[in-house]
Structure 1
């Protein structure tokens, strides 16, 4: 009875639904593993979203609804894309700050720049590791690090500004004989301070962003309130010429205000 209980307990531990359970089962059971090729759905473009939004808007509120919904879809897509780009830029900047710190530490203990860049790439983020590998290969062959980093910046636009600072620092050290570790450490400190300042400004812009969101939602709440008191604003917007014009014009003004306020708040928080 005790052996049966222990066996059941061992099986329960093996199949416990945690992250490492499949790995333990594969180690115990000789199961043939066939990699599955997952089909990734194509990412929607702005044109596809505009057409889909216009079709839905036309079917509900007519031509004015088509214009309004297409503009709304494009605005949402642009805001999502810009916020994703900003997060990615902050992430890669933080990764490069860590990689530059490791590179400077290796240079200060007397390592060759190529060796220091290779060691810095070991524990860096993927994009920062790729940049450090480019630096290592170019420095080992005696090439132009600034030009190599400029070519790398074309493949990853979110790293363009950071790699530009590093390339200019490397060129300055090579041209004027300035210690490379000191110049790169100055670049690292500057990037770190910019990143910290950007986070502080982003946090302080939460109030203006919330105010802009509330102002953008107020017209829709007014329409819903009108429907609640049986004023039938949707009937006016969908069935009359003036309603169609007001619907399209109002959507353009609301989305324009959202984009303009987002531009003001995002520009202040750029690293």
Structure 2
């Protein structure tokens, strides 16, 4: 009787046939191998310059090759610079939160190693990695300053903050200053610099917009000339003086963009 019931259950499980595979998978889940994500290689300035020069040569000749190569490299540098600035800001914000948690634990009497471990639990990944290094070194009685220097070597965006934390730790150990107070001073300093950076970044929106408009105006002038049948592209592509002007104009425009970006980025760097 039991064998008959078992066979009947199997029959119900695999019927109809088109749903049998799904039911069996639900009963016996198969571990799926994580799919490997193929990432494109990161382009470099040299690769972008060569590709841009090839495209520019096909469209506008030698002058177009120079102009497009410079334009591609400039756009890539600006994108990479903005991404790096956002990453530095995010890492600094994570360290502010981690230092705040570390100071709170120290003020309630926790051991520095335990306080660093607890601070690493809810911290940003990079800040958590630094706090974990502090916890391991402090628990073994090692040099926390040297451990933070090694952590900063792995993540350059944390070098300045971790250097301050390491010096504060060394100062507290050498002169008997309460560690919580010294680290809280570092946290407040970093937080104030972040707030100042946000304010300056907001105030620099006008100059950045003006620089972008000035960089786009020559291209708009060329398009307007084509619209009224003045044929500026013919002059730029088919005449020697046009080729020289095209390359020179692109160099001046991109140089102005990079110079204005350097000024504004330097002002808002956290």
**TM-score normalised per structure 2:** 0.89
Where does residue 263 of structure 2 map in the other structure?
264
Where does residue 168 of structure 1 map in the other structure?
167
Unaligned runs of 5+ in 2: 1-24
Flag the 1:217–1:167 CA change in 2: closer, same or farther, 3 A: same
Q: 1:152 offset after TM fit, Å?
A: 1.1
Q: 1:27 offset after TM fit, Å?
A: 8.1
Matches of 1:113 and 1:241, distance apart in 2: 71
| Secondary structure of 2:95's aligned partner | helix
Matches of 1:32 and 1:213, distance apart in 2: 52
Where does residue 133 of structure 1 map in the other structure?
132
Flag the 1:232–1:36 CA change in 2: closer, same or farther, 3 A: same
Per-residue displacement from partner, 1:152-180 (whole Å, max 9, x unpaired)?
11110111111111111111111111000
1:165-204 correspondence runs (5 A): 165-204=164-203
Tell me whether 1:217 sits opposite 2:223 in the alignment: no
Matches of 1:27 and 1:129, distance apart in 2: 38
Number of residues of Structure 1 aligned to a counterpart in Structure 2:
246
Q: 1:143 offset after TM fit, Å?
A: 1.1
Per-residue displacement from partner, 1:95-143 (whole Å, max 9, x unpaired)?
0000000000000011110110000000001000000001011111111
Flag the 1:111–1:32 CA change in 2: closer, same or farther, 3 A: closer
Q: 1:31 offset after TM fit, Å?
A: 4.9
Where does residue 19 of structure 1 map in the other structure?
none
Where does residue 35 of structure 1 map in the other structure?
34
1:1-80 correspondence runs (5 A): 30-80=29-79
Matches of 1:236 and 1:160, distance apart in 2: 52
Matches of 1:225 and 1:46, distance apart in 2: 31
Tell me whether 1:158 sits opposite 2:157 in the alignment: yes
Name which one, 1 or 2, has greater alpha-carbon Rg.
2
Unaligned runs of 5+ in 1: 1-25
Q: 1:46 offset after TM fit, Å?
A: 1.2
| Secondary structure of 1:230's aligned partner | coil
Matches of 1:255 and 1:27, distance apart in 2: 59
